[in-house]
């Protein structure tokens, strides 16, 4: 890139942060309720958000479409039509009571980078595609990464039978949304169509802030296992059943939850365990709960570590259920292996960080990301952007304008300097 181009796009880039932050606010207004940001897969808010993002993609000079599972897909042609692409993106669904940056920052930044190329009439020797994944969080249906799995061609049909808390199946929800559940396969892409997948995302942790850095280069995405546990005891009268005779399902679940916390706290190698959801039936003050359901989310820096820890935790839950004479049902609802970022691609992310004048700092991702699905059709890499206090999955999630701008400048630099693996000197795939 010539000096003037860098200068002109640098001034253009200075506006990148403003455009990005403005759109983050615009998108965050599309929520199930105004008070608590939630944009859930196949909801009316999903549709409204998709329409807005597709309009941004078209304004940026991309052709844009909603794919067969509700992802938003934009394409900016290279210097010749039909070239393989560098795919950028992130997700645009949220957790409940979410922050507004988790997912949208990566998607909106990618769109702004393409808009900058388009403003300058810049065409590259590859296409640039931007994908907004429709369901990374897995809030509505137990399994996650539904959008990116559909793109990777690894969507499991049986997921269509899973039901949300209202008992609506994914299949029916897709039909209501206007999508054909038997057509999901049309969203799949092939390895041949992609040079690489790169995602910009907030760090969702405190490490960049502690190191006083706006951006970081991700080394790997930690794997995770999600489980659904159900304990069945005996409902009874809160006033008449002596404690020794009770089969209290909620008390059993509480003992399991405290055990998971203690077990993970005592692990010195980064094991984390979370119970994010619990439900007790019948849920009346004066009734001993006969049924308790809760979720488990177990993660560790390596797959063997996670699997060994999980086996131990399951044994302990089984022992608690047995001792309390409770019937246990424990199902794995989602499992993702740890995904390494490709060294050749990670190096280009690092080069772009350095070229924009920032220190190169590598760190793993404890959070899951769509790259865990995209790895099945492409090498992946990630660029992290600092978020205040490392807070995420919380309305207090925040990114400073300067850091949003820094992330955009690095991503744009990466795109303009991108060399496919075969020409990057990294040797044959
Ligand atoms: O759960 C995760 O790690 C991601 O935010 N979905
Ligand atoms: Mn998230
Ligand atoms: Mn995310």
Atom of ligand 1 nearest to the CA of 368: 3
Cα–ligand 3 centroid distance for 353 (angstroms)? 21
The pLDDT value given to residue 9: 44
Atom of ligand 1 nearest to the CA of 393: 5
Q: Which of 142, 301, 368, 372 to mutate to test the pocket of ligand 1 (most atoms within 8 A of CB)?
A: 368
Cα–ligand 2 centroid distance for 93 (angstroms)? 9
Atom of ligand 1 nearest to the CA of 204: 5
d(CA 381, CA 45): 29
Nearest to 92 by CA among 135, 45, 54: 135
Specify the DSSP class assigned to residue 2.
-
Those residues of the chain that have pLDDT short of 50 are 1-13, 429
The CATH number corresponding to 3-220+340-428 among 1.20.1300.10, 3.40.50.2300, 3.40.630.10, 2.40.340.10 equals: 3.40.630.10
d(CA 204, CA 396): 11
385 three-state secondary structure:
strand
Topology at the third CATH level for domain 223-336: Alpha-Beta Plaits (3.30.70)
In sequence order, what are the residues at sequence separation of 6 or more whose Cβ sits closer than 8 angstroms to the Cβ of residue 425? 419
The pLDDT value given to residue 224: 95
| Nearest protein Cα to ligand 1, atom 4 | 368
| Nearest protein Cα to ligand 1, atom 6 | 137
Q: Which ligand is nearest to the CA of 367?
A: 1
Which residues, judged by CB distance below 6 Å to any ligand atom, belong to the binding site of ligand 1? Answer: 136-137, 144, 367-368
Residue with tokens 């059993």: 252
**Tokens representing residue 99 in the block:** 């922050």
Q: Is the dihedral of CA 403, 406, 408, 410 positive or negative?
A: negative
Cα–ligand 2 centroid distance for 393 (angstroms)? 6
Q: Which ligand is nearest to the CA of 392?
A: 2
Nearest to 342 by CA among 420, 407, 255, 285: 420
Q: Which of 137, 148, 274, 301 to mutate to test the pocket of ligand 1 (most atoms within 8 A of CB)?
A: 137
The pLDDT value given to residue 427: 58
Q: Is 163 exposed, middle or buried (0-12, 13-18, 19+ CB in 10 A)?
A: middle
- Domain residue spans of the chain: 3-220+340-428, 223-336
Atom of ligand 1 nearest to the CA of 299: 3
Cα–ligand 2 centroid distance for 395 (angstroms)? 12
Q: Is the dihedral of CA 381, 387, 391, 396 positive or negative?
A: negative
Nearest to 24 by CA among 128, 105, 103, 91: 105
pTM here is: 0.88
């Amino acid at each position: 890139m010539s000096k003037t181009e860098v200068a002109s796009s640098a001034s253009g880039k200075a506006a990148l942060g403003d455009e990005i932050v403005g759109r983050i606010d615009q998108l965050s207004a599309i929520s199930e309720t105004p008070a608590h940001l939630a944009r859930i897969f196949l909801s009316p808010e999903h549709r409204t958000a998709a329409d807005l993002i597709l309009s941004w993609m078209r304004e940026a000079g991309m052709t844009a479409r909603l794919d067969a599972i509700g992802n938003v897909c934009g394409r900016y042609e290279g210097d010749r039509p039909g070239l393989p692409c560098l795919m950028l993106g992130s997700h645009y669904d949220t957790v409940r009571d979410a922050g507004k940056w988790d997912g949208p920052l990566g998607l909106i930044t990618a769109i702004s980078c393409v808009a900058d190329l388009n403003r300058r009439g810049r065409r590259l020797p590859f296409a640039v595609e931007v994908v907004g994944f429709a369901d990374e969080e897995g809030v509505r249906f137990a399994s996650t990464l539904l959008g990116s799995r559909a793109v990777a061609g690894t969507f499991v049909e049986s997921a269509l039978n899973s039901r949300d808390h209202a008992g609506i199946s994914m299949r029916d929800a897709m039909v209501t949304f206007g999508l054909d559940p038997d057509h999901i396969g049309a969203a799949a892409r092939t390895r041949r169509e992609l040079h690489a997948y790169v995602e910009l995302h907030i760090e969702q942790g405190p490490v960049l802030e502690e190191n006083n850095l706006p951006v970081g280069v991700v080394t790997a995405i930690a794997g995770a296992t999600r489980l659904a546990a159900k304990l069945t005891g005996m409902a009874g009268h809160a006033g008449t059943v002596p404690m020794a005779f009770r089969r209290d399902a909620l008390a059993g679940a509480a003992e399991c939850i405290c055990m998971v916390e203690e077990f993970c706290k005592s692990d010195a190698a980064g094991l984390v365990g979370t119970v994010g959801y619990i439900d007790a039936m019948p849920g009346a003050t004066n009734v001993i709960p006969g049924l308790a359901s809760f979720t488990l989310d177990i993660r560790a820096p390596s797959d063997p570590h996670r699997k060994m820890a999980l086996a131990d935790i399951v044994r302990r839950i089984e022992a608690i259920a047995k001792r309390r004479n409770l019937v246990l049902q424990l199902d794995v609802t989602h499992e993702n292996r740890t995904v390494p970022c490709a060294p050749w691609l990670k190096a280009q992310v690092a080069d772009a960080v350095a070229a924009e004048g920032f220190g190169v700092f590598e760190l793993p991702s404890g959070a899951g990301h769509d790259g865990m699905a995209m790895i099945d059709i492409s090498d992946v890499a990630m660029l992290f952007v600092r978020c205040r206090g490392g807070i995420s999955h919380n309305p207090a999630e925040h990114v400073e304008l300067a850091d949003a701008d820094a992330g955009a400048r690095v991503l744009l630099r990466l795109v303009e300097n991108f060399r496919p693996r075969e020409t990057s000197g990294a040797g044959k795939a």
